[in-house]
Amino acid sequence: MNHLATADYIVFFVYFIIVVGYGYWVYRRKRQAQMNTTDFFLAEGSLTWWAIGASLIASNISAEHFIGMAGSGFAMGLAISSYEWFAAATLIIVAVFFIPIYLRNHIYTMPQFLAQRYSDTVSTILAVFWLVVYVLVNLTSILYLGAIAIESLVGISFTTCTIGLALFAIFITLGGMKVIGYTDVIQVVVLIFGGLVVTYLALQLVAQESGISGVWTGLVTIKEQADSHFHMFFPKGHPHYEVLPGMALVTGGMWINNLSYWGCNQYIVQRALGADLKTARSGILFAAFLKLFIPVIVVIPGIAAYVLYQSGPFHDAMTDASGVVKPDHAYPVLMNLLPIGMKGLAFAALTAAVVASLAGKCNSISTIFTLDLYKKYIDKTASEQKLVNVGRWAIVASFAVAIVLAPMLRSLDQVYQYIQEYTNFITPGVFAIFLLGFFWKRATNRAALTVAIMTIPFSTLLKFWPEVMGLFDVQVDTIPFLHRTTLVFCIDMVLMVVVSLTDPAGYKTGKSIIVDQKLFRVTPSFVIGSVGILAILVVLYTKFW
């Protein structure tokens, strides 16, 4: 039944009061009249390593993980966990090589890096692109998917959900990055424990269907009854090859996708830009450790739902009126079977994931708009307090746009997959521009500008490659998404090198970016933590390959 009982509302209300009360307390600890831009946008020097790590995870995990990734677990199994487990390895690389460069050069935003390394033109083009994508695609889709999930789970109207989620997120975001960072700690605790409750229920149900009980028994049972769902590698010809194409997981697009997301994305990197290097690295390593456990709370329940569907109990719940299987129903079906009180906790976990992502995304929108556009082109002499106020108005305006646009996404099928694929049309180009900007002094402004302009056409051409070749009566297979990412990245890298070497203007970087090998030295404790995480990944992929 898609409604909460009184006890569930009480649990949720307690969660809400704790988050709001704690956020307000953090906000009041600093006299807001003295808040400047580094306080508001970066919480400079205020976030501890555990707050940075928790905020990274809270900002990353949202409704698409609980609903979409659980649905993928139902449909294809553990292989979808590669997005989470590769993120853990990627975060280590970002902590060692990317963050030191940002901090050493006092980089506060990604467009600022592009302006210092290349030019204001490259910076502004990508700043505008990021703002358009963040507001019209990411913020709107997070709000839409969150509202749809809550509507399906508890029976609250879609409009009420969008407004409620937006107001909750606005309250947190207006307090600045410090409030976001520390409330994210609570959000992560709630979403992990709430998620574990659903995992526990799912495994118990599987065990009970076998006539026994126990979570471990349930885990063994789903491994036995759905062995095909416990393999990470999909060979060519496999039904899910286009989603996770074979060796692309190890050698190709998965790395590019993750390195760009975790290392060149304002929404993510911003959490660490206000800390010192040791704190930032410790926080990122903590986030990498947490990433290992995300599949336990989202993918395993999806696989359990698949087993229950196969054995009968979930057969009707997992199909629509026409009898078509709907994998994305897996998590809502499990949540609706939770006992009174526990359903309220799971509802709080879902809300925590959505609100944390909304707050983090909107803070990044506000940062880019205020520091990279408003201050640079509209009011160059604006005071610190005025910039903070502009940032707050940008937050409110962004949510107003998202609330208006969110209902329009109802007309699309598989919104999450659609958005993931098309926003990644720019990912290879962005990563190529950043990577060569970091480590190749010869990369020129003209090369970066060329790649920024040409990446989308390249991606579009490869997306519709079978149709293009069909015009010449040549039949070719569709190029899987991750393979397209790799191909476009390689083309962009070659293009940047060629244009840089043939650029008549020669080597030009604007303000120099300091890259010293000493920046990449890490502490023994970081090495031990990193080796531990990588060892776990090796065991997981060896076991389930």
Which range (288-302, 353-367, 446-460, 523-537) has the least confidence?
A: 353-367
Rounded CA-CA distance 325/316 in Å is 9
More confident position, 389 or 472: 389
Pick the more confident residue, 431 or 336: 431
Neighbours of 75 (CB within 10 A): 20
Which pLDDT band holds residue 282 (cuts at 50, 70, 90)? very high
For 23-57, what is each residue's pLDDT tens digit?
Answer: 778 777 755 446 666 767 666 667 788 888 888 88
Write out the H or E segment, with its range, that includes residue 5.
none
Over the stretch 160-169, which tens digit does the pLDDT of each residue have?
989 998 998 8
Q: What percentage of the chain exceeds 90 in pLDDT?
A: 15
Binned at pLDDT 50, 70 and 90, residue 417 comes out as: low
**Tens digits of residue pLDDT in 234-273:** 777 777 777 777 776 677 778 888 898 899 888 788 878 8
Q: Which of 193, 194, 215, 192 is nearest to 205 (CA)?
A: 215
Which pLDDT does position 426 carry in this prediction?
Answer: 83
Name the more confident of 237 and 433.
433
Report the alpha-carbon distance of residue 286 to residue 239 in Å, rounded: 35
Burial class (CB in 10 A: 0-12, 13-18, 19+), 275: buried
In the prediction, which pLDDT does 33 show? Answer: 47
Residues 6+ apart with CB under 8 A from 262: 87, 90, 91, 94, 268, 269
Across the range 262-285, mean pLDDT stands at 87
Convert the pLDDT of each residue in 198-232 to its tens digit: 888 888 888 887 777 778 888 888 888 888 888 88
If pLDDT is split at 50, 70 and 90, which confidence band does 311 have? confident
Instruction: State the pLDDT confidence band at 478, using cuts at 50, 70 and 90.
Output: confident
Q: Which domains does the chain have, with CATH numbers?
A: 6-423 (1.20.1730.10), 427-514 (no CATH)
Q: Which of these ranges, 103-107, 368-372, 512-516, has the smallest mean pLDDT?
A: 512-516
Global pTM?
0.86
CB–CB of 272/99 below 8 Å?
Answer: yes
pLDDT at 149: 77
- Going by pLDDT thresholds of 50, 70 and 90, the confidence category of residue 421 is low
Please say whether the beta carbons of 337 and 201 come within 8 A: yes
Q: Average the pLDDT over each of 40-44, 460-464, 515-519 and give the range with the smallest value.
A: 40-44
**In which band, very low, low, confident or very high, does the pLDDT at 95 lie, cut at 50, 70 and 90?**
very high
Output phi, psi for 254, to 5 deg.
-65, -40
- Mean pLDDT over all residues of the chain? 83
pLDDT of residue 397: 92
Element at 254 (helix H, strand E): helix 253-263
Q: How far apart are CA 166 and CA 29, in angstroms?
A: 24
Model pLDDT, residue 534: 94
Do 195 and 349 touch, CB atoms closer than 8 A? yes
Residue 111 confidence (pLDDT): 87
DSSP SS3 for 222: helix
Strand-pairing partners, residue 319, are 325
The pLDDT, as a whole number, for residue 508 is 54
- Judged against a pLDDT cut of 80, whether residue 323 lies above it is answered with no
Question: Which residues, in sequence order, are bridge partners of residue 312?
Answer: none
Q: How far is CA 484 from CA 32, 252, 263, 427, 456, in A?
A: 48, 10, 20, 11, 12
Residue 42's pLDDT is 66
Q: Terminus-to-terminus CA distance in the chain, angstroms?
A: 38
Q: Report the alpha-carbon distance of residue 427 to residue 422 in Å, rounded.
A: 10
**For the residues of 484-521, what is the DSSP string, one character each?**
HHHHHHHHHHHHHHHHHHH-TT----SSPPP--GGGG-
Q: Where are the alpha helices (DSSP H) in 67-173?
A: 70-75, 82-93, 99-104, 110-117, 120-132, 140-154, 158-173
Which of 290, 320, 321 has the alpha carbon at shortest distance from 195? 290
In this prediction, residues 170-180 reach a mean pLDDT of 79
pLDDT in tens, 114-156: 988 888 888 898 888 888 888 888 888 888 888 877 887 777 8
Is 395 exposed, middle or buried, given 0-12, 13-18 or 19+ CB atoms closer than 10 A? buried
Distances in Å between the Cα of 260 and the Cα atoms of 172, 211, 286, 393, 435 are 27, 47, 19, 29, 9
Q: What is the pLDDT of residue 506?
A: 65
Residue 410 burial class via C-beta count within 10 angstroms: exposed 0-12, middle 13-18, buried 19 and up: exposed
Q: Give 392's contacts (C-beta < 8 A, 6+ positions apart).
A: 174, 366
Q: Is the pLDDT of residue 524 over 70?
A: yes
> Within the chain, how many helices (H) and strands (E) appear?
27, 0
| Residue 404 parent element (H or E) | helix 384-405
Window from 10-24, 120-134, 323-337, 425-439 with minimum mean pLDDT: 323-337
Of all residues in the chain, the percent with pLDDT exceeding 70 is: 92
Across 139-153, 300-314, 389-403, the highest mean pLDDT is recorded for: 389-403
